[in-house]
A and B are shown apart, each in its own frame.
Chain A
């Protein structure tokens, strides 16, 4: 038998296995990713705890110096918790609302604005920009 034909046949078998596996063995994971996790009360509690933890860490970091990058990174983590969750039956909407409320609360707590002179982030309570010294206007 032609060796290359044999290799082609083996390739065909491997390809068929990859394509037909979900039908033969069943889909290993749900399409909706972490939906199952959020329908589990334990996982839900862990997600909320993570949001709180990230929020506290962000607050602590803001006390030193909070940048747009840091804020965005923290927000991303919080959002990722929600994004990874697909609509799960029953209480998912409530969870989402809670997470969004937590995000909104943290964002309000960490409200920052740009310096009019150099665009650097101005911390709450600053009278002058820490980067360029421009006076902070209300």
Chain B
């Protein structure tokens, strides 16, 4: 089976190479037979990658321990769902997964666009074949998951316990999905640059796929943060780790891209910025993959040292070079058409895009600075989370402020600007004073952020209600669909506001404390009274599990909840792994980590965290993803969705065929 996988991925690479050559010949020389052959190469490539991926999954599920990858990431005792998940637990498997997704996506895009007659389809095939071929080459040449061991082993090493979590089955899929889906807008953009940016309504297709990518990436990041919170046991959910940042960077540029492509679609403006953002987002997706896999950084999420760094780095540089050259070549054609109409809400959309770009630059700088110092000065430093908080907090507040004052921004039609300004000022001032008083005059910064968030929420919800009412009353056919679709962007904004407010509360008001207690003893730590009621030890196949049962005591002295927290000590490696106990409440989580346990002395050492508003961080993320889904709903079956802002001067785009 491993031989079949190896042959199949090599054949896929060959098909990808032919696809690149044939599509370029077909497009440049108008050779229909070559274009069709390139499309055939895409189907052939996808077929071969499906065979390779099927082979690896079969090897993992059947537990063929003659294959190094299977022995490294599975064991006989591993549950079947995690054997599937082992496909993306290691370097070779996850690269094959990327190749697989990319090949399937290539087929979908080819089938969708082959008869459109836009002239962009052959170049889209070229781009997909380059990207899929790159990953197929990495799997074939550098990190094959089909490498055989010199001699089969009796049992495998098993999956890292940290990865044995249901979220780790979904989170990487969503994240990879987001990364790979960004190939579609990139491929269409590159194709449009190559064929001519006015060839058909490709921007609409790109916007729709951009929304799908954004939804997947948002879900992936939120699920990853939730996994880190529940599994890593440090009380937080986002450590500004380089690999975490690598997933955040394309999300930030992808969010800016959503706003710029909509403006491009509706008014023909922001075309150059839109093209730059598409290329940047895709390059950042590849860059994130490079960071995780090349071994240039050390992180809890990274795959360790690997020889694929130079190849992947070179490929990213080449893709950047070609994309940049195409962009410069077409620059004169990309200038915005002369028009008086800037579009409704143009200022807010541009300001949000600029803030997202500023956040991207800040996070990228903080992530890459240690690497620069290491290369240039042979100096080892690390950038602490404080840097990221210091830089990102004001920019995040600025995003909230834009939502809060959006009706007063240039480009908005507001009836009574003076009255709106006064009302907003009064609401902001009253809520600030109220929240400041609630914090016992302790946290002016938090009160300010929450006051702005409250004003932003009122503004967005009001807009949401108006837009939904308007869509409902003016839609001639499916009113429900029209209303849901119209609500999407505002729902996403509501989610972002909820999340930013919750993050502010959590970062400012989190309490942490450590205590060592005997069974039966009670103590108050981090603002929470805990009582240890039991300590048990159990010998498992690979580890010893210590389980402490803790009563959380409420304000009335009674037991509010009973929480179990566990620590596994692995016999072979001596490593420990905490299974955190979390009591979730709408206002705060009580988060218990068993640091140490002594069954003979009946003592436990607990780390106790009081984490305010964590539930609302997840809720905000879910609401954001839901907003994306609503926005991406089709206008009617088989048709692309409508844009998020009502922009009335779309004549430019319509006549530019």
Is A91 close to B, CB under 8 A? Answer: no
Q: Size band of the B side of the interface?
A: 35 or more
Q: Which residue of the partner chain, among A15, A35, A65, contacts B473 with CB atoms under 8 Å?
A: A65
Please name all residues of chain B whose beta carbon is closer than 8 Å to the beta carbon of A66 when the two chains form the complex: 474, 476
Contacts of A45 in B (CB 8 A): none
CA–CA, A85 to B654, complex, Å? 15
Instruction: Assess whether A18 is in contact with B654, with CB atoms less than 8 Å apart.
Output: no
Given A14-B47, A83-B116, A84-B117, does the pair A19, B37 have CB atoms closer than 8 Å?
A: yes
B470 lies within 8 A of chain A by Cβ: yes
- B103 near A: Cβ within 8 Å? no
**Do B473 and A131 touch across chains, with their CB atoms under 8 A apart?**
yes
Candidates B3, B7, B200, B471; contact of A11 at CB < 8 Å: B7
B37 and A132 within 8 A (CB): no
A49 within 8 A of B: no
Which residues of chain B from 80 to 118 have any CB-CB distance to chain A below 8 Å in the complex? 115-118
Q: Which B residues lie within 8 Å of A31 (CB)? A: 26, 30, 32, 35-36, 117, 122
Q: Is the CB–CB distance between B474 and A65 below 8 Å?
A: yes
Which of the 9-residue segments B227-235, B324-332, B642-650 touches chain A? B642-650
Which residue of A is nearest B650, CB measured?
A72
Shortest distance from the beta carbon of A129 to any chain B beta carbon, whole Å: 9
Pick the residue among A8, A79, A104 that contacts B657 (CB under 8 A). Answer: A79
Which of A11, A26, A67, A82 makes the CB contact (< 8 A) with B476? Answer: A67
Are A113 and B650 in contact, with the CB atoms below 8 A? no
Indicate if the CB atoms of A27 and B47 lie closer than 8 Å. Answer: no
Q: Which residues of B contact A134 (CB under 8 A)?
A: 415
Is B444 on the interface with A (CB-CB < 8 A)? no
Distance between Cα atoms of A121 and B116 in the complex (Å): 32
**Contact of B117 (CB < 8 Å), options: A8, A26, A34, A113:** A34
Q: Which of B38-46, B314-322, B491-499, B515-523 contacts A (4 or more CB under 8 A)?
A: B38-46
B124 to chain A, nearest CB (A): 13
Which chain A residues lie closer than 8 Å to B201 at the CB level?
76, 79, 83
Q: Which B residues lie within 8 Å of A15 (CB)?
A: 11, 15, 44, 47-48
Contact of B36 among A22, A64, A67 (CB under 8 A): A22
Neighbour of B51 across the interface among A5, A11, A35, A75, CB < 8 A? A11
| Contacting pair A83 B33 (CB below 8 A) | no
Please give me the residue from chain A that is nearest to B6 by CB atom: A8
Contact with A along B1-37 (1 / 0, CB 8 A): 1011001100100010010001000100010111111
Residues of A within 8 A of B646 (CB): 68, 114, 119
Q: Give Cα distance in the complex from A38 to B331, angstroms.
A: 33
Q: A2-B3, A96-B657 are in contact. List 10 more A-B contacts (CB 8 A).
A: A12-B11, A14-B47, A15-B44, A18-B43, A21-B40, A61-B476, A67-B482, A70-B474, A72-B650, A131-B473
Residues of A at under 8 Å CB distance from B? Answer: 2, 4-5, 7-8, 11-12, 14-16, 18-23, 26-35, 61, 64-70, 72-73, 75-76, 79, 82-86, 96, 100, 103-104, 107, 112-114, 116-121, 130-132, 134
10 contacts between A and B (CB under 8 A): A4-B3, A15-B15, A34-B117, A65-B475, A65-B476, A70-B474, A70-B476, A72-B642, A73-B639, A79-B201
- Top 6 nearest A-B pairs (CB, nearest first) are A33-B117, A67-B474, A22-B36, A120-B470, A15-B44, A18-B40
